[in-house]
Amino acid sequence: MASPAAAAAAEAEAGEGAVTGDMVSAGFAELERQQQLLATCTRLYQQLADHFGSLERGLAARSDALRVRRRAFDARTHRALDSLHRREASIDGSVSRALDHLGSLSAASDKGAAPAAADAEEAGLAEGLRALCARMDSAAFLGFVVARRKEADALRAEMPLALKLCVDPAKFVMDAVADVFPVDRREVRSPADLAWACVLILEAAVPALADPDPEIGSARPLVPRAARERARGMAREWKEAAERKGGVEGAKPPDAHAFLQHVATFAVAEREDRPLYRRIVVSFSWRRQMPRLALTLGLEEEMADIIEELIAKRQQLDAVNFAYEAGLQDKFPPVPLLKSYLEDSKKTPSVASDNSSTSSGQSGSNVNKKEQSALRAVIKCVEDRKLEAEFPLEDLRKQLEELEKAKTEKKKAASSASSGGSSGPATKRIRASNGGPMPPAKAAEEVASVNVGIALPYSTPPMSYPAPYGGYGNGMTAYNNGMAPAFHQAYYR
């Protein structure tokens, strides 16, 4: 039998080992706290893992991009060094060819003198150009080109050959355009705008100034140092004049084009002026020569950004042409851009007017013209880029035919309505339009109704430009159509 002391000890141990309800609750509370802490730690760990994983992926992508850029820079450096080596090795040969060319010109002049300027005017186009260039008669050259503006295609074909007959083509070209570029110095400015002729002459000068080495060609224009400095001065003068008039964005499109072509022709592009070149290229991107000029002026690194900017400005057709010129059509697929361009052309511009009926009629007419212009431009682009397999043209041609048919029917209806009206008002309108008396209020209405358009930059075209410079003479193009530049047909004519 156990002693009393042993029994007391057993009872004490039993009392100490008893588990109460409070102890159980406290234990579960501690477990829950530990569980929450573990969940928080797990969540933080996952967030940190995702964050560092994202950083690693970003660093890896940037490293890959840097490696690609480094390889591209290395390849470009090698190409540039190879080009420099080829140019250095070709200097003697180019000088020899240039001297031979001058010798042949001298021999030709000894055999027979070139006809006088008056005879050149009466001669054929090719003979007249050659005569003026052989005589270095720059004063008559610009007038000859302007007088033959309706033969712009023939001028473009014959001028490079004629300019090669000049003893100093660079000086001859700058002398020829000096009266109207970089600023118009003529006492009598008639015709008003001759920038188109400057562009034509400057473009023709590129092959005339090209290095005689066929492997180098226009990549190294043979411009004497004095002529190059003069060309730089002319470019600076144009920039200063443009800034005084409110900036290059406010310049007339042919003037801005002539400036860029001048810089490209005489190879006087400056690195610090590249932002200026880009502003001009983007502002007048609808002109068909702008993509090529952008590359010539050293903007090849910015072409992707320029294309994205054009897309953001809803000038998708221009973006397509820039992408093809820069070889970026894989990065900027043309078909989605062209479809987006067509969708935008169908949107009615938000133009308010006090006369709701006149506003709605004019707005509908503008939308119709804009859509027709867009359809023609897209069809031409698809044909030129050989995209018929990706973008069938049957539906577009049907849409264009329907729009043209609706336009013709609308004209017939308007004509029949005007002929069937009352004779009194019609007689008054005819008499007033022929110079008869007109009430002052009516005269004000007639004046106010002239050249009404959407964002029309100039009231009338400064002159009738030759057809080959799309965007000049045609009423559906640049100056005379009152629609956004995105729908000009400057590329396709």
Question: According to the model, what pLDDT value does residue 159 have?
Answer: 95
CB 181 within 8 A of CB 254: no
Question: According to the model, what pLDDT value does residue 413 have?
Answer: 80
* Residue 478 in this model has a pLDDT that exceeds 50: no
Is residue 188 very low, low, confident or very high in pLDDT (cuts 50, 70, 90)? confident
Question: For 254-258, 334-338, 405-409, which range has the lowest pLDDT when averaged over its residues?
Answer: 405-409
Give the best-scoring range by mean pLDDT among 114-123, 174-183, 185-194, 350-359.
Answer: 174-183
Tokens at 433, concatenated: 């339009």
Rounded to the nearest integer, the mean pLDDT of the chain is: 78
Question: According to the model, what pLDDT value does residue 227 have?
Answer: 95
Q: Dump pLDDT digits (tens) for 250-284.
A: 899 999 999 999 999 999 999 999 999 999 999 99
Question: For 100-114, 329-343, 371-385, which range has the lowest pLDDT when averaged over its residues?
Answer: 100-114
CB 260 within 8 A of CB 234: no
Mean of the pLDDT values across residues 96-111?
65
Pick 282 or 99 by higher pLDDT: 282
Q: Which residues contact 200 (CB under 8 A, 6 or more apart)?
A: 145, 152, 155, 156, 159, 469
* Residue 489 in this model has a pLDDT that exceeds 70: no
Residue 406: name the closest of 365, 377, 356, 453 by CA. 365
Tokens at 359, concatenated: 């506003």
Q: Which residues contact 151 (CB under 8 A, 6 or more apart)?
A: 125, 466
Q: How far is CA 331 from the centre of its chain?
A: 18
CB count in 10 Å sphere of residue 161: 15
Tokens at 294, concatenated: 């952008």
* Residue 459 in this model has a pLDDT that exceeds 90: no
Instruction: State the Cα–Cα distance between residues 275 and 281, nearest whole angstrom.
Output: 10
Instruction: State the Cα–Cα distance between residues 304 and 281, nearest whole angstrom.
Output: 13
Whose tokens are 């309800």? That residue is 21
- What is the per-residue burial (b if ≥16 Cβ within 10 Å, else e) of 104-133? ebeeeeeeeebbebeebbeeebebbbbbbb
Instruction: State the Cα–Cα distance between residues 294 and 305, nearest whole angstrom.
Output: 12
Question: For 110-119, 232-241, 334-343, 402-411, which range has the lowest pLDDT when averaged over its residues?
Answer: 110-119
Instruction: State the Cα–Cα distance between residues 240 and 243, nearest whole angstrom.
Output: 5
Question: According to the model, what pLDDT value does residue 346 have?
Answer: 82
Contacts 24+ apart (CB under 8 A), 140-148: 141/172, 141/176, 141/201, 142/176, 142/177, 142/179, 142/180, 142/194, 142/197, 142/201, 144/120, 145/197, 145/200, 145/201, 146/191, 146/194, 146/197, 147/121
Measure Cα distances from 172 to 85, 187, 248, 342 in Å. Answer: 31, 22, 27, 45
Give the best-scoring range by mean pLDDT among 73-82, 377-386, 440-449, 484-493.
Answer: 377-386
Residue 177: name the closest of 281, 265, 283 by CA. 265
Q: Dump pLDDT digits (tens) for 192-203.
A: 789 999 999 999
CB 198 within 8 A of CB 180: yes
Pick 104 or 204 by higher pLDDT: 204
CB 137 within 8 A of CB 117: yes
pTM of structure:
0.67
Alpha-helical segments (H) within 245-315: 253-265, 274-283, 290-296, 303-312
DSSP letter, residue 135: T
